[in-house]
Amino acid sequence: MTSYTITDDKQIDDAREIFGGLAAMNDVLEEATGTDNVAAVAPADLYAFALGHADPAASKVEAALKTSAPIRAAFHDLLSCASDFHVPRAMAAASDDIDVREGADCRISIQPSEAAPGQVYVIVELTQAGSRDPKVMHLMGAGDVYHRTELPEFYDGIAQLIVEVTSEIITLLQDPDTEVFLK
Amino acid sequence: MFIALDLDLLTMDDPVSMISRSGATGTLIAEFRALSDATDMGGAPKYAPKPVLHGLARFITGASGGPNKDSELFELCHLIAILARMAPGTDARAEFFLGITKAAASIFRATIHGYGDPGDGISVDDGGVNATYGDGEFGVRYGRMPLLAALYEFLIASDGFENYQPINDVFDGLNEGAASVRDIQDSANALSSIVRQYRRKHIQRSKYDDKFNAILTFLRARTVDNKIHVDDETVLDFWVSNNDAGDFRVYKTVFEGFVEFMKSFEMGGRTDAVERSAVIGTDFEAHEVEPDDQAGDIFSLSDWQSPLAVLAEGAAADIKFFKKESEQKPIEALMQYGPYAERLAMAFLRLESFGPIQAGITNDLQVKRGRASIETRITCDDAFEYRDKVAGFEAILDHVKQLQKAAYHVLTSGAGQAGNVVSLFGDAPETSFEAARNNDALAEVDAAALAEIGAEAEAVFRKIVRKGFEESVLETDDQIEGFRIGAGALVAMEGLLRRYIKTAAAFDNAPPDLAERFASDRATFAARFQTLYGDVQ
C-alpha cells in the first residue's frame, strides 16, 4: 500500500497540475501515433522545400503556402535567410508588362521565342562571378500566389527556361508585386 | 482537514470540435505529429521517440511540474546565443535546427566542431559547448541538443506558425549578441509567456482536473484522517464502483489514472523541494542550478523509462535482444509501468489478464462484429490465468540472464574493453548472474572463478543465433556500444522481473492463492463487463 499525507491545499493543487500534465503528455504521445490524425507542416519541411530538396512533404507544403498566411510569412523569412539571390518587388510606377526583373547580382528577363510564337524564354543571369548556381526559383506573388520551378544547369552564369507565354511563371514575373528567390 | 477542490477551469479559445478525444486539441496533436513523423534523408525518424519526443511532449504539456518546467527554453536560448557567435551564414540557425539529418548528439557535435575556431567566450569540448558572458557562464551538452532542436521546431510552428514571428524576434534578439545571462533569462521568459498561452489554448485542463478530483474524492471517502491510501483493491473498487463510467469505463484507464495520481503526488513533493532550493542560473554560490541538472533530479526519482525503449534506440537497436512476439510483447506493459507495476502488483496482474478482454470488446463494438463475440468475451473465459502470466515472466527472466552473459562476454572480450563491465554491472560485474547464484561477494570471487564466468558467458554468446550476436561484433565499436547500452537495460529488466516475480510468489503462497484470486477476479470482471456491455448492440 502506498500512502500520502495531505498537508494543505497547495499540495493538492500542485499534484493536480502535475497529474494534468502527465495525463495530457500520455494523450499527446498516444494520439500522435494514431491513424486518425493528420500531421501539420513541420518547419523542417518548409526549409527543405525552400532549399529545393526532394521531400515527401513537398505537396503538403505547396498547398499550405497557398492557404496559410502565417506559413507563407514563415516561408518568406526562411527564403530571405537561405536564398542566394533575391529579386524584390518592382517599383510601384513600373508598367504591368515587365520583361526584366533585377536584383542584387542577378537579372531575370523574358524574351520571345522566334521558333515558337506561343512560347518565351526566361533567362536567369548571375552577374557576380563565382556565385553558387541556384537550383530552384521561388516566385512569391501577392496574396496567396506562389510558384516554384526547378532551374536548368547554368552555363557561364546563365540558365534559360522555355515556357508558354500564358504560363503562371510569366504572369508572376510580369507582376511587380512578385518577389523572386533563387536558391 | 477539509481540502477544497476548486476546479481551475481554464478558458478555452478553441471550439469544442477542435478538442481531440483526449484533452489536447487537434491542433496540438497535429503539430506534435509533424515532428514525430519527420524523417531524415534516409527515411528514418528524425527525432527519437525517447527521450526526444517524450521530452518534447512533457515540455508541451508542462508535465514536469514545478516552477521551472520551462527550463528547456533557457537552454534553447543559450544554444541560440552560442550559435549566433559561432555559426556562419545568414541561415545558420535554420541549417542547424531544420536540417534533414537525424537529430542526434553525434550529428550536433560534428556540426559544432565543424564551425572551426569558436572565438572569444566560447569553448567546445567532447561533452558540449560552453559560453562565457559578462555575468556568468553556461554550457549546453550535445545530448540535450536533439530535444532542443525538436523544441525549436515545435515553437516556431506552433499555432499554425502564428507564433513564428514573435518567437523569431526573440531569437533574433539573441543573434544581435546576448551580453549576459540576464539577457538569456529575459528571452526565455518571453518565450515562456507564449508557451503558457499555447498550453491554455490547447490543453483542456478541466478534463484532467475532473479525473484527478474523481480519484482524490474516492480515496478521501475511504479514510478518516489526513492520509490517502492507494493499493490494489482501491484500483479495482474504483473501477467497479464508478457508476458514471465515462472516462473510467476502461480498467486500463483506471490503472493508468492511479499510476499518474501517485506520480503526481510524488513529483509534487519533489518540485516543492526544488522550489525551495533551486533557482535556474549559473550562480552556484547562490545554489542556482542548471536546468539539465534539475530535470535530471526530477526525472530520476519517478520518471521510469522502459528498458525496452532503451534497447530500441541507437546502437542497441541493431541487436536483436528480444523476439518481438514471444519475448518482448509479454513484458512490454511490465517494463512500461516499471516501479508502479510493482507497487500495484495485483492491480497490474488484473490489467494483464482482463485488459485484453476489454480491449477486444471495445474493438468488437467499433468494428460492429456482433453480439456473439462480445458475449463470449464478457465471460472472461479466455483471460490469461495469473500463474500463467507469472510463469511467462519467469521464462523471460531466464532469457534476460542469458542475454546478460552474452553482453558480459562482448564487453570483456573486445580489444581495450577491460573495465567496461564495471560501469555496467556496478562494482561486481558478475553479480547479475554468477554471484547471485553462488551468493558470493566480488572480493570472494577469485581469478579462476572469473575465468569460469567468462567461459560460460562466451558459450552463451556463441549459442545465441540472432542478429547482433555474431563473432564480428567484438571488432565493431558501434555494436560493442550497443551491448554497453543493452547491458544497462538488461540489469534494470532483471531487477524488475525478479522483484515482480517475488511479489507474485508472495501472493501465491498465502490464501487466497493466485488461482483463487484469478477465479474471484474473473467473476468480478465478468459481472462488470456484463453491466457495461451486456445491453450494447
Residue B474's φ and ψ, nearest 5 degrees, are -65, -15
Q: Over 90: is that where the pLDDT of B133 sits?
A: no
Q: What is the pLDDT of residue B305?
A: 82
Residue B22 has pLDDT above 70, yes or no: no
Q: What residues of A are in contact with residue B98 (Cβ under 8 Å)?
A: 43-44, 46-48
The separation between CA A12 and the C-alpha centre of its own chain, rounded to angstroms, equals 48
Using CA atoms, how far residue A110 sits from A113, A160, B144, in Å, is: 10, 10, 50
How high is the pLDDT of residue B245? 55
B94 to A53: CB separation less than 8 angstroms, yes or no = no
Residue B151, pLDDT score: 97
- Chain A, chain B: beta-carbon pairs less than 8 Å apart: 216
From the list B4, B30, B203, which residue is nearest A37 (CB)?
Answer: B30
Q: Suggest the residue from A17, A55, A78 to mutate for an interface test with chain B (most B CBs closer than 10 A).
A: A17
In this predicted structure, the answer to whether residue B294 has a pLDDT above a threshold of 80 is no
Q: DSSP E strands: which ranges in B46-153?
A: 122-124, 128-133, 136-141
Q: Are A75 and A82 in contact (CB under 8 A)?
A: no
Three-state DSSP class for residue A17: helix
User: Please, are residues B85 and B308 in contact by the beta-carbon 8 Å criterion?
Assistant: no
Residue B526 predicted with pLDDT over 90: yes
pLDDT at B279: 32
pLDDT band at B177, cuts 50/70/90? low
Report ipTM for this prediction.
0.90
Contacts of A38 in chain B (CB under 8 A): 30, 33
- Asked if the model's pLDDT at residue B414 lies above 80, the reply is no
Q: Give the tens place of pLDDT for each residue, B3-15.
A: 332 222 233 333 3
> For residue A56, which residues of chain B lie inside 8 Å, CB to CB?
39
pLDDT at B432: 43
pLDDT at site B349: 98
CA distance B440 to chain A (A): 33
Which pLDDT value is given to residue B368?
Answer: 87
**Span B365-378, average pLDDT:** 91
Shortest CA distance to B336 belongs to which of B371, B306, B367, B299?
Answer: B306
Low-confidence stretches of chain A (pLDDT < 50) are none
Percent of chain B with pLDDT over 90: 53
Domains of chain A, residue spans: 9-38, 42-82, 84-182
Q: Retrieve residue B185's grid coordinates.
A: 533569462
For residues B358 and B381, what is the distance between their CA atoms, to the nearest angstrom?
Answer: 12
Is there a contact between B22 and A15 if contact means CB atoms under 8 Å apart? no
**In which element (H, E) is residue B120 found?**
none
In this prediction, residues B307-314 reach a mean pLDDT of 84
Q: Single out the residue of B413, B19, B3, B7 nearest to residue B203, CA to CA.
A: B19
Residue B1: pLDDT over 90: no
How far off is chain A from B18, nearest CA to CA, in Å? 12
B445 pLDDT above the threshold of 90: no
Give the pLDDT of residue B519.
97
Three state DSSP letters for B474-530 = HHCHHHHHHHHHHHHHHHHHHHHHHHHHHHHHHHHCCCCCHHHHHHHHHHHHHHHHH
d(CA B39, CA B26): 22
pLDDT at B271 over 60: no
3-state SS of B127-143 is CEEEEEECCEEEEEEHH
Q: Are B327 and B464 in contact (CB under 8 A)?
A: no
Q: Which of A78-82, B170-174, B244-248, B425-429 bottoms out in mean pLDDT, i.e. has the lowest?
A: B425-429
> From residue B387, how far is each of B508, B510, B514 by CA, in Å?
8, 14, 6
Q: Average pLDDT over chain B, rounded to whole?
A: 82
Hey, what's the cell of B396?
523471460
Residue B537: band (very low, low, confident or very high) from pLDDT cuts 50, 70, 90: low
Q: Quick one: cell of B428?
A: 561486481
Q: Does A45 touch chain B (CB under 8 A)?
A: yes
CA–CA gap between residue B352 and residue B385 (Å, rounded): 9
Considering the four listed CATH numbers 1.10.287, 2.40.30, 2.60.40, 2.40.10, the one that applies to the domain covering A84-182 is 2.40.30
Looking at residue A74, its pLDDT comes to: 96
Residue B173 has pLDDT above 60, yes or no: yes
The pLDDT assigned to A90 comes to 85
CB contact under 8 A, B22 and A74: no
What is residue A34's predicted lDDT score, i.e. its pLDDT? 73
Query: Which of A107-116, B112-121, B402-411, B454-463 bottoms out in mean pLDDT, i.e. has the lowest?
Result: B112-121
pLDDT value at B527 more than 50 = yes
The residue with cell 510552428 is: B157
The pLDDT, as a whole number, for residue B383 is 96
Q: Please report the pLDDT score of residue B17 as a whole number.
A: 31
